[in-house]
Amino acid sequence: MKVNFKKLNENAKAPSYGSSFAAGADLCSAENEDTIIPAGKTVFVHTGIAMEIPEGYVGLVFARSGLACKKGLAPANKVGVIDSDYRGEIMVALHNHSSEDKIIEKGERIAQISLVPYLTAEYEETDTLSDTIRGEGGFGSTGRK
């Protein structure tokens, strides 16, 4: 699948896969300088790109495991959702979960995006729902004996 993208500034990098079987393409910081993310705070980091995500697909922006595990930096909203009709700049709200200020270097990989097909549901209100074995069992209710 080919996906058009547009560089919005000279620091922007094309999304790229780290290996031939990677599910997510890396997104990089397109800031003019290194970005400080204070402990416990969230900072919007510009990628400098806009995408033309195909209809029927959504761009899901996930944390990079190395950045999250080693630096404590991950998207504040856990998973960013980029709809196919959005044509603005993709930005990543990175939250610093650590107790120290962290630095994102200019051009550093900050997140990954996966393009995923989705279905649109037609929600219909009803007074009853079908019965299941689980029923109304909530958090932690499965797997108990």
Q: Does residue 138 lie within any of the structural domains?
A: no
pLDDT of residue 138: 74
Pairing of the two strands 49-52 and 4-7: antiparallel
Residue 112, Cβ density class (10 Å: 0-12 exposed, 13-18 middle, ≥19 buried): buried
Residue 144: pLDDT band (50, 70, 90) is low
Neighbouring CB atoms inside 10 A of 105's CB total: 13
Q: What is the pTM of this model?
A: 0.89
* Mean pLDDT, the chain, whole residue set: 95
pLDDT of residue 145: 58
Domain count, the chain: 1
> What domain range is 90 assigned to?
4-117
Tell me the average pLDDT across 21-39: 98
pLDDT of residue 140: 67
- In DSSP terms, which residues pair with 136 in a beta bridge? none
Report residue 101 CA to chain centroid gap. Answer: 22
Q: Does residue 37 lie within any of the structural domains?
A: yes
Q: Does residue 48 lie within any of the structural domains?
A: yes
Give residue-wise pLDDT tens across range 94-124.
999 999 999 999 999 999 999 999 999 999 9
Q: Does residue 68 lie within any of the structural domains?
A: yes
CATH number at residue 18: 2.70.40.10
pLDDT cut 90: percent of the chain above it: 90
Give residue-wise pLDDT tens across range 60-80.
999 999 999 999 999 999 999
